[in-house]
Chains A and B, each alone.
Chain A
Amino acid sequence: MATNSDGARNTKYVTMISGDGFEFVVLREACLLSPTIKGMLRGSFSEAKTGRCVFPEITGPVLEKVVEYLYYYHKNVNVPYVPDMEIPVELCLVLLEAADYFQLDKQMT
């Protein structure tokens, strides 16, 4: 794989932007849980170069919940007996869809 010497490549944080313009600055390490984002950031595509990932078809609240989950997982990855994350009922369906998109549905081991 070609190495890209862009400044954004190894920054500690990346920015995730929802379709309706909400921006979330997220720890890169936490983001890499999602294979989708991981693929996005490792190639030589524009996201990898700029460190900005735009998700036009995902709304702010959903992306917020996704980011919350990424942190939740990142923080508790090795902790036994973690309390469940709170998911509002009305977001359930759309979050399932987002999980599929981010390929976060089969990660849990």
Chain B
Amino acid sequence: MASRANRIRPIRRPIMNREVSEFEPCWDLLRDALVDIHTKNAGRLSFEQLYRASYKIVLRKKGELLYERVKGFEEDWFRQHIMPSIAGLVTNNIVNMTLLQHAGTSASERRQTGERFLRGIRDAWEDHNMSMNMVADILMYLDRSYTVESKRPSIFAATIGLFRDHILRDTVPSVAEQLQRDFMVFDILNTVIVDLINMERDGDIVDRNLIRKITSMLEDLYETDEEIENQKLYLRVFEPCYLEASRQYYRNECEKLLREADASTWLRHAQQRLKEEQDRCGTTISILTVNKVAGVVEDKLVKARLSDFLAMEGSGLKVMIDNDRLEDLAILYQLLSRVDGTMAPLKHALQGRVMDLGLVIEKTVRNMDFSVNGAGSGQADADEAADGIDKSKIQPLTAAAQQTAAAIKWVDEVLQLKDKFDNFWSNCFNKDLVLQSAVTKSFSDFINAFNRSSEYVSLFIDDNIKRGAKVKTDAEIDVVLDKAIVLLRYLSDRDLFERYYQKHLARRLLHNKSEIDTEKDMVSRMKSEMGNHFTIKFEGMFKDMELSRDLGENYRDHIRQLGDVDTKKVDLGIHVLTTNNWPPEVMGRGDGGRVDCIYPPAIKRLQDSFFKFYLKDRSGRVLTWVSSAGSADIKCTFPKIAGKESGPLSKERRYELNVPTYGMIILMLFNDIDEDESLSFGEIQGKTSIPPLDLVRVLASLSIAPKAKVLLKHPASKSVKPTDKFSYNTQFVSKTIKIKAPTISSINKVEGDEERKETEKKNDETRAHIVDAAIVRIMKQRKTLSHTKLTTEVITQLQARFKPDVSLIKRRVEELLYREYLERVDGEPATYQYMA
């Protein structure tokens, strides 16, 4: 052990004992090695020897001297060996091309010259970089102790920086003199790269690797030897220059596109450019620039002339929307979402387009002549949605039916428009919520701007439920109803819609025009969409129908048990309707009181019998017979006509005739008179008390329409006048056994202007009550409230049902003041107080 311990000294001593004079031999060794490294002869050198040499110098505190010597050596080497070759690269050609911006050289010439220059720079850099790495390795110990202690840049940073100071930031004196101005090699370098990139943008093929080498060199060099991360020459010098050039390039390109191309080309081009620039950053420039250069393209190529491109005639946004250019729109959306999160231009354009197209629909529907076959052909998109109308176009339509066709057409078109924008939204706009709400708002705006939308939507549902049962499958109906609900969502006057729907539903139910399941399905959809209160009446109507069916069966059972002989002749199907649930028109409450007509005795007995049965379980109720809403099946016999030996008239004919209740009453009158007797209009009216309007209608259907002409009118003309006389048509013949007398009242159609005013008036009355109730409710709770606040609260409360007019609210408030529900507060203008 002791002998080993002695060995400590022999090693230390030789190192420490060699004196300061050893610096020079060590440095000589190192200097020779540096030369060898530069001349690529390092293979014969021993790293250990050189490392040890520098190690010893440093140990003897001669680090600073070594540092200076190495730096000095490298500077000398640079000056003597590298700079001349670089100066050789700065030829007249390249100076003309870059600093003087001389035109006239061809692109390929410029490219070759530029690439030659870059190659020279690259080679010099690669040599230098490699050498400096090796130098830094053998001087590792210097960096580790001396450089750290003295806080100087590492020897690598100091020597690699020479390239920056003596090449990039240096000038070539002879050329500078010739040009009479200062320049840096860096300027040439930047211009060459930018020029090459622009050539590539124009479609040339350039040496990407070469450029990438140069840019990565710039990434490795810093402004100073401190090598601060954000002071890379690439970021500080090259990148701004590159971005500026890109800006210039794309500004020009954008102007050129605006002059020469259309919006569609522009979109694709911009998208392509963005991708190219991204790729270019990966392969040619530097990934550091990727976002910045994308920003430049977005700014100059997309944003700068955005509105000009979108407004382009024949290819702008309008055309994209109208012609369903999904791809264009998708690209547009992608580009816009890069430049502007709010999507303002697209949003406004879409909204405008929705409004315009909505108004176009309204206008076409209004101007369209539905009575002529193929009326829709003038319109570009008259397609399968209109086939319902085509079917009815086979015959010239009545004015009312035309109106109805118009309504359905309108809804169809609106739904198509909605589909179109939904399609854009889900396929092109990435289901963007901002755009969705914007488009929804526009839809709602134009739908509500059209004053018949509530009625039309209800008619549309009516038509589809009625026709749907025959023509369409359940799934198809499902789709249509879904769409109807979509439209319903847009309507703001929901109370008006409710009124129309109630009316239409009532007719469908009473005349058995629809599948009850479909009806219930529709109403339950409305319920989930609009809330319970909206569908209370509709559900009440369904319930009435169900109860009535049971009631009818029970009544029949009851009669059977009684064994009443007389009732065998008349079978009663009854609908007992709760007054509030059903529309006043149906209930005969419409125009100032009901007129009770006089029923034939047979019917009268039946009524009494039923009423008695009904009251057995429900005493105290009142039943009112609504003769205007019913219908009757009559079996009638037309006797053989004397003298006719062949043909249908030679036999006795039995028919089942389906007529409105009024028709039945009238026909039964003729049972009581002789074949050749006639009744005048006045007589019929006197005997039945049927209101004149209804009487005219029923008589017309029984005496004019050939299908059910069981009465003869004198004189025979196309309309019924109060002076006409009617008699039994003994010669009546029909091909079918069951005949339905054509009726007008059971078709749901668009209202005439008169009717419409009527509906609106009624609706306004209802609204007035609702507003009253709302005001009282609010005031009861708040006691005192200003007019403005009251108005706001009323509007908020009623929004789900309709949008109350401010003037309406004001009128109602005045009314309530007058009726002393409210009073004004003294001294405070426009403030009300609730009076208990």
Contacts and interface: CB of A to CB of B under 8 A. Distances in A.
Interface string A61-102: 110000000000000000000000000111101100100010
A55 B48 contact: yes
Contact of A90 (B1, B134, B137, B141): B1
B715 to A, nearest CB: 117
A46 interface: yes
B4 A90 contact: yes
Interface in B79-135: 130, 133-134
B137 A42 contact: yes
Interface stretch (B8-16, B173-181, B513-521, B760-768): B8-16
A45 B43 contact: yes
Given A1-B133, A94-B8, A48 B47 contact: yes
B5 interface: yes
A108 interface: no
A46 B48 CA distance: 9
A43 B134 contact: yes
B12 A47 contact: no
A36 B143 CA distance: 12
Nearest to A105: B144
B138 interface: yes
Contact of B140 (A35, A46, A56): A35
A59 B47 contact: no
Contact of A45 (B2, B14, B40, B46): B46
A103 B144 contact: yes
B632 interface: no
Contacts of A47: 46-48
A98 B130 CA distance: 29
Given A59-B7, A94-B7, A53 B48 contact: yes
Interface in A17-42: 35-36, 39-40, 42
A59 to B, nearest CB: 7
Contacts of B46: 45-47, 54
Nearest to B139: A39
Contacts of B306: none
B42 interface: yes
Interface string B3-39: 0110110011011000000000000000000000000
A47 B40 CA distance: 16
Contacts of B130: 1-2
Contacts, number: 86
Q: What interface size band does chain B fall in?
A: 20 to 34
B42 A43 contact: yes
A39 B8 contact: no
A59 B11 contact: yes
Contacts of A58: 11
Contacts of B51: 36, 39-40
B140 A103 contact: yes
Among A36, A43, A91, A101: residue with most chain B CB under 10 A? A43
* Interface residues of A, dominant DSSP: helix
* Interface residues of B, dominant DSSP: helix
Contacts of A36: 51, 140-141
Nearest to B10: A59
A97 B48 contact: no
A60 to B, nearest CB: 11
A45 B134 CA distance: 9
Contacts of B14: 57
A15 interface: no
A57 B42 CA distance: 22
Contact of A40 (B1, B47, B55): B47
Contacts of B5: 89-90
Nearest to A6: B43
B49 to A, nearest CB: 8
B503 interface: no
Contacts of A43: 42, 47, 133-134, 137-138
A40 B144 contact: no
B603 to A, nearest CB: 104
Contacts of B50: 45
Given A35-B140, A93-B8, A46 B44 contact: yes
A97 B12 contact: yes
A42 B42 CA distance: 12
A39 B43 CA distance: 14
B137 A94 contact: no
Contacts of A46: 43-47
Given A57-B52, A59-B11, A94-B11, A45 B45 contact: yes
A93 B8 CA distance: 7
B42 A45 contact: yes
B700 to A, nearest CB: 103
Contacts of B133: 1, 43
Contacts of A56: 48, 52
A39 B137 contact: yes
Contacts of A88: 1, 4
Nearest to A19: B11
B11 A97 contact: yes
Contacts of A90: 1-2, 4-5, 7-8
Contacts of A45: 42-43, 45-47, 50, 134, 138
A69 B134 CA distance: 27
Among A40, A48, A53: residue with most chain B CB under 10 A? A40
A44 B42 contact: yes
Contacts of A48: 47
A103 B4 CA distance: 24
A61 B3 CA distance: 13
Contact of B141 (A42, A53, A59, A103): A103
Among A39, A55, A89, A97: residue with most chain B CB under 10 A? A39
Contacts of B40: 2
A46 B138 CA distance: 13
A94 B42 contact: no
Given A44-B42, A45-B46, A101 B55 contact: yes
B521 to A, nearest CB: 69
A95 to B, nearest CB: 10
Given A2-B40, A40-B51, A45-B138, 6 more contacts: A36-B141, A40-B47, A45-B42, A46-B45, A56-B48, A90-B1
Interface of A: 1-2, 4, 35-36, 39-40, 42-49, 53-59, 61-62, 88-91, 93-94, 97, 101, 103
Which 10 A-B pairs give the minimum distances between C-beta atoms? A90-B5, A45-B47, A39-B137, A40-B47, A90-B4, A44-B42, A47-B47, A43-B134, A93-B8, A94-B8
18 contacts: A2-B130, A36-B141, A43-B47, A43-B138, A44-B43, A45-B42, A45-B43, A45-B46, A45-B47, A53-B48, A54-B46, A54-B48, A61-B4, A62-B11, A90-B4, A97-B11, A103-B140, A103-B144
Interface of B: 1-2, 4-5, 7-8, 11-12, 14-15, 40, 42-48, 50-52, 55, 130, 133-134, 137-138, 140-141, 144
